[in-house]
Amino acid sequence: MDFKQFKARFALHLDEQQEAAVQASEGPVLLLAVPGSGKTTVLVTRLGYLCYVREIPPEQILTMTYTVAAARDMRNRFAALFGEAEADRLEFRTINGVCSRIIRYYEQITGHTAFRLLEDGGQKSALISEIYRGQTAEFASESMVKQLQTAITYVKNQMLKGEELSEIEVEGVDFPQFYRAYCKALRDQRLMDFDDQMVYALQILRKHPPILQSIQARYRYFCVDEAQDTSRIQHVIIRLLAGQSRNLFMVGDEDQSIYGFRAAYPQALTEFDTVYPDARVLYMEHNYRSTEQIVAAADRFIQKNQNRHPKHMKATQGSGRKLHEYSVYDRQEQYSLLCGLADGCTTETAVLYRDNDSALPLIDRLERSGIPYRCRQVDSLFFSSRVVRDITDIIRFSRNPGDGALFLNIYYKLGAGISRALAQEAARSDTDPLEYIAAAPAASPWTRKQCRALQTHMTNLLIERADKAVYRIVNFMGYGAYLEERGGDRSKADILEALGAQEATPEQLLDRLEALRQIVQAGSTDPTCPFVLSTIHSSKGLEYDRVILMDVADGLLPKTLPSADPTPEEQDAYEEERRLFYVGLTRAKKELSIITFRKVGLGSEFAAEVLPPKKREGVPVRRKPAPVKQTDGERILALAKDYIPGTRLLHKTFGPGTLVSKTGDIAVVAFDSQEVKKIAISTALKANQLKLE
């Protein structure tokens, strides 16, 4: 059977680029497929081509993809096109699944028993919690366990050791020490986690050449889907497996690599023709999903990334509506707008956002109004995060100022200069600890003054609206400065403040948080509801008639901005933020809307790049080119240059002081109160916490 007969028999309709990809059967091939270009169809069709035209035994072909669901879907699509009999002879596996097979084969060949796989998620969480408590003397929150699990996965998938490992940080814990203790605990119990399957499989392939040769003899053709999401260790394993035949067909798109936090390694795509000098790099650039306006805007946007192959996305669906901008004042007005759009919605509409936290105030509003929506189960890590726990502990302490245990949780986070010994002494007293310290001769005059001020704050926050109370805690009671010093993320405090806007008192906010936690854990998955809420990460691979991108503002989406002279790491992080936005844009088929903000501090470079220029009185107004326009980050960087050793400054929380020394962005400041603090200058300036005296 030749290719023409193959197409006719299975009624295949392919464009020129797709046909070239299907027929690329020998040697190393990288297929770069833009969104909506029919990537999975081509991969499945190519498998049929290998079997029917090239007459390669299906048993010699191994197809690997990112998830079990994706492997199952690919197998079903192949069976629907070419039949169950052929599908049963092919192998569709995750890379983890392949590694598990390698370990089992090792056991058969050597007679050794491998470590038992730690499949129980609860058991793994318990082990992490136990090690964390031994190291910090604190109980690990659900959020902390999740952070540690993510960091462990990242280290193993990136194959980090030594100095590279020492650079991995998790707030509140010495992560390298924790990681070594975790790995030792697994070894001592003869256990391995899912990531260890790859670590041990790689060791087997390297140390036991006969096992590698046996696998290479069985499989002669290797197909890898979603290659941009594959980690460094996975690429090393794939390279070894395909090392003999060199028939490696990788499909992906570095422009859609958005899982850096899971150790995705898009460099494997940009370096493919360096690793394989004789490789062919093919492109699929026709988008069959979206209108010309959407495709043009998304393609123009992603062209500004530097670490990518030179390709362009081209529309095939014809013209449609212009990109639409919803201009609102602030995030509260955004939630009102979206509730209005959801009420009575009949058009398939997806509201996309960067992370789950963004959806919480919107879900809260929709639930209160009884407006239907569809949202997959959202992780509840927000509610157990350190920032939310701290702020709610402060509210609880204000309600019960004699609670010594709560006081010991929060005293050092309020910027009053209270020593641990004095805090413990006050917690054991029969009175309000703040009252005790305010009258304690051992406390400095400044500390006594701060404690009296905190008492006033504690009284006042109980009688004001919940969002005002959260704002008071963060901006006037020292907690914001505490986060700033530790490089903490204030975004969760912003979400908590947004939720508080719906509650008359902070005590009512505490009750609502528990109810909302149960709501998001349950999810709302009515498949008939057209109004969908999703993170951009979860929407990858999906498409919707209408897409609305929310929280599009510098600091939200994108989460981070590069400095004027970014390090390679900063540039990589920023380019991933751009890729994330690009993936969001390309989920839309017919209509694409972006919510922008008029409030100062919520501007968006991303929105300015993709939205058509605004018009005033019928006259087009040209936007300034991005390189000329000074971003908020550049403005802060310029201001920070004035803060040099010897400078007198004024901090909103700590008062006046002198900048003693400065290393990079971190300054050591001796305040007139006799306190010495380390402060991140740019963070303090961005939060309006700092100015020159």
d(CA 316, CA 613): 25
Range in 283-292, 416-425, 515-524, 620-629 with the lowest mean pLDDT: 620-629
The predicted pLDDT at position 631 comes to: 56
Average pLDDT over residues 633-651: 75
Q: With bands split at pLDDT 50, 70 and 90, how would you rate the model's confidence at 688?
A: confident
pLDDT tens sequence across 603-621: 999 999 999 876 533 434 4
The predicted pLDDT at position 153 comes to: 96
Q: Count of H helices and E strands in the chain?
A: 33, 23
Q: Which two tokens stand for residue 652?
A: 């909103």
d(CA 73, CA 75): 5
d(CA 34, CA 298): 11
Average pLDDT over residues 314-331: 95
| Degrees, nearest 5: CA angle 580-582-583 | 65
Q: With bands split at pLDDT 50, 70 and 90, how would you rate the model's confidence at 667?
A: confident
Q: Which two tokens stand for residue 133?
A: 């408590």
- Report the DSSP beta bridge partners of residue 661: 668
Q: With bands split at pLDDT 50, 70 and 90, how would you rate the model's confidence at 651?
A: confident
pLDDT tens sequence across 30-76: 999 999 999 999 999 999 999 999 999 999 999 999 889 999 999 99
Average pLDDT over residues 334-351: 96
- Report the DSSP beta bridge partners of residue 144: none
DSSP letter string, 159-225:
T--HHHHHT--BTTB-HHHHHHHHHHHHHHTTEE-HHHHHHHHHHHHHH-HHHHHHHHHH--EEEES
Residue 380 predicted with pLDDT over 90: no
The predicted pLDDT at position 616 comes to: 38
Average pLDDT over residues 392-398: 97
The predicted pLDDT at position 377 comes to: 66
d(CA 390, CA 388): 5
Residue 666 predicted with pLDDT over 90: no
- Asked if residue 558 has a cis previous peptide bond (ω within 30° of 0), the answer is yes
CB 389 within 8 A of CB 399: no
The predicted pLDDT at position 24 comes to: 97
**Tokens 């990681």 appear where?**
179
Residue 466 predicted with pLDDT over 90: yes
Residue 342 predicted with pLDDT over 80: yes
pLDDT tens sequence across 563-607: 888 888 899 999 999 999 999 999 999 999 999 999 988 999 999
Residue 654 predicted with pLDDT over 90: no
DSSP letter string, 71-140:
HHHHHHHHHHHH-HHHHHHSEEEEHHHHHHHHHHHHHHHH-PPPPEE---HHHHHHHHHHHHHHHHSSPP
The predicted pLDDT at position 683 comes to: 81
The predicted pLDDT at position 526 comes to: 81
Q: With bands split at pLDDT 50, 70 and 90, how would you rate the model's confidence at 633?
A: low
Instruction: For residue 37, report the phi and psi dihedrals to the nearest 5 degrees.
Output: -100, 5
pLDDT tens sequence across 409-462: 999 999 999 999 999 999 999 899 999 999 999 999 999 999 999 999 999 999
The predicted pLDDT at position 624 comes to: 42
Q: Is 274 exposed, middle or buried (0-12, 13-18, 19+ CB in 10 A)?
A: exposed
The predicted pLDDT at position 615 comes to: 53
Q: With bands split at pLDDT 50, 70 and 90, how would you rate the model's confidence at 25?
A: very high
Q: Which two tokens stand for residue 115?
A: 């470590």
In 371-494, which ranges are E strands? 374-375
- Residue percentage of the chain with pLDDT more than 90: 79
